[in-house]
Structure 1
Amino acid sequence: MKKFLLLSFVLFSFYAKAQKQTFESPNLKEAVSKQKLVAIIPFDAKITYKKQPKNFSAEANRDQEKTLSKSIQSSLYTFLLRKRDDYRVQIQDVDKTNILLKKAGIVDKLDEMTKDELAKILGVDAVLGGKYEVEQTKSEAGAIASTIIMGGFGGKTGTGTLTLTLNDGATGDLLWRFFKTLDDNITTSSDDLVEHMMRKVSRNFPYSK
């Protein structure tokens, strides 16, 4: 019985660690103390299917990924704006961020740019971004992005991972990273998704007062 309990504890600890991981650079505190303005860039959103729907359209799926990317970006901005008294930095308006990215012709080329290059274009001290990857497990359920954006989904419909990263604007170095595995019971809109994530990082978010 003792061996069973010990094994259960080890497996539980491993599972919990796999579900949530945080990285902090040794230079984090020094770097963020000098930062005043942060930009949130569109998230890298990826939608896949365990079993591809019969009427699957690659083009429509890409469009939904782009919409989801901007939706999470906007939700994160709204959250940080609403909690601005809790943080020591200002967040650049995401509309301004996206306009500057569009003017620079790199809206669809963010993965080809270094974070310090992006910070220079955006005129900010740091870049906050991330990745959201989700696998739809119900092939008959339509695209998961539409469901999230329109107000959420219930039951066991998909599994996903959410990553939030903070890069220094001057050097491009990764200062902080938060990774979370989302189980397939989560019921959420993009606002709820961000709320869920930020509750998990609230204690060690780099800009918390």
Structure 2
Amino acid sequence: MKSKLIFFFALAVTLISCGPTIYKVADFSEVTAKHKTVAILPTEVSMQLRPNEMKKTSPEQLNQMQEQTGKDIQDKMYAWFLKRSGKFKYTVTFQDISRTNALLAQANLTYATINTKTKDELARLLGVDAVISSRATMKKPMSEGAAVALGLLVGAWGNTNNVQTSISINEGIKGDLVWKYDYTASGSVGSNTDNLVNSLMRNASKKFPYNAK
């Protein structure tokens, strides 16, 4: 009986430790009072492949898969906001990601070099009041194209089932971080980008700072 209690206690601690963590600057309302437009950047993706997979995957192929997955998550996140804009009544509009990515390309910023610019520099470049950035650390690709590419390379067709994710909002004047949400997706949630974004945004939506409700 005692061993069972210890097991359930340990399980509870594990579940709590995997729960979402939220940061919000104390004067968020004042800092973001005049925000009208927000840009969503491509997600920074890190794939931690197994040693046998790494041997058969070149750095260029890995970078390509990470970029494909990062832009796929960006697209799904933008679509999520659009579909629920009526329900949540956001106080800002979200810049079309095709415009965001075009402006980045015109400035000669690639997926790999976006982080060479500060968040305030990116906001000015994109003509927005704030930028949403995100990170995802996974063990295998989630986007269909990237998963197929890895499958063809090393015969690994399974998808990841544990993804460390975060969403951050930086205001555009000084680039200061004003909101951050950390979340761990596990199980079937981590099987593809649709599931990941739906789970991440569904959990974050009630705390999302631009939500008027």
Normalising by structure 1, we get a TM-score of 0.84
| Residue 176 (str. 1) matches residue 191 (str. 2) | no
| Aligned equivalent of 1:33 | 33
Q: Does the CA contact (< 8 Å) of 1:47 and 1:144 recur in 2?
A: no
Partner amino acid, structure 2, of 1:24:
K
Counterparts of 1:105-120 in structure 2, within 5 Å, are 105-107=108-110, 108-120=112-124
Deviations for 1:144-167, whole angstroms, at most 9, x for unmatched residues? 5446778xxx98744221111100
- Per the alignment, do residues 34 and 10 of structure 1 end up closer, same or farther by CA in structure 2, a change over 3 Å counting? farther
Q: Does the CA contact (< 8 Å) of 2:185 and 2:199 recur in 1?
A: no
Q: Does the CA contact (< 8 Å) of 1:149 and 1:190 recur in 2?
A: no
Aligned pair count?
201
| Residue 103 (str. 1) matches residue 106 (str. 2) | yes
- Could you tell me how far apart the structure 1 residues matched to 2:194 and 2:28 are? 27
Q: Does the CA contact (< 8 Å) of 2:160 and 2:190 recur in 1?
A: no
Post-superposition offset of 1:84: 1.4
The equivalent position to 2:126 in structure 1, one of 113, 122, 127, is: 122
Please state whether the residue corresponding to 2:207 is helix, strand or coil.
coil
Q: Does the CA contact (< 8 Å) of 2:37 and 2:92 recur in 1?
A: yes
Deviations for 1:77-120, whole angstroms, at most 9, x for unmatched residues? 11101111221110000000001111111223111111000000
**Pairwise CA RMSD:** 2.7
- Could you tell me how far apart the structure 2 residues matched to 1:120 and 1:144 are? 32
The equivalent position to 1:189 in structure 2, one of 173, 187, 192, is: 192
- Could you tell me how far apart the structure 1 residues matched to 2:71 and 2:159 are? 25
Residue identity over aligned pairs, in percent, reads 29
- Could you tell me how far apart the structure 2 residues matched to 1:155 and 1:56 are? 16
Partner amino acid, structure 2, of 1:58:
P
| Aligned equivalent of 1:21 | 21
- Could you tell me how far apart the structure 2 residues matched to 1:189 and 1:144 are? 5
- Per the alignment, do residues 125 and 167 of structure 1 end up closer, same or farther by CA in structure 2, a change over 3 Å counting? same
- Per the alignment, do residues 5 and 29 of structure 1 end up closer, same or farther by CA in structure 2, a change over 3 Å counting? farther
Please state whether the residue corresponding to 1:171 is helix, strand or coil.
coil
Deviations for 1:107-145, whole angstroms, at most 9, x for unmatched residues? 231111110000000000000011011013xxxxxx554
- Per the alignment, do residues 29 and 13 of structure 1 end up closer, same or farther by CA in structure 2, a change over 3 Å counting? farther
Instruction: List gaps (5 residues or longer) in structure 1.
Output: 137-142
Please state whether the residue corresponding to 1:118 is helix, strand or coil.
helix
Q: Which moved more, 1:182-191 or 1:15-24?
A: 182-191
- Could you tell me how far apart the structure 2 residues matched to 1:12 and 1:162 are? 21
| Aligned equivalent of 2:208 | 205
Please state whether the residue corresponding to 1:203 is helix, strand or coil.
helix
Instruction: List gaps (5 residues or longer) in structure 2.
Output: 149-156
Deviations for 1:158-177, whole angstroms, at most 9, x for unmatched residues? 42211111001111010111
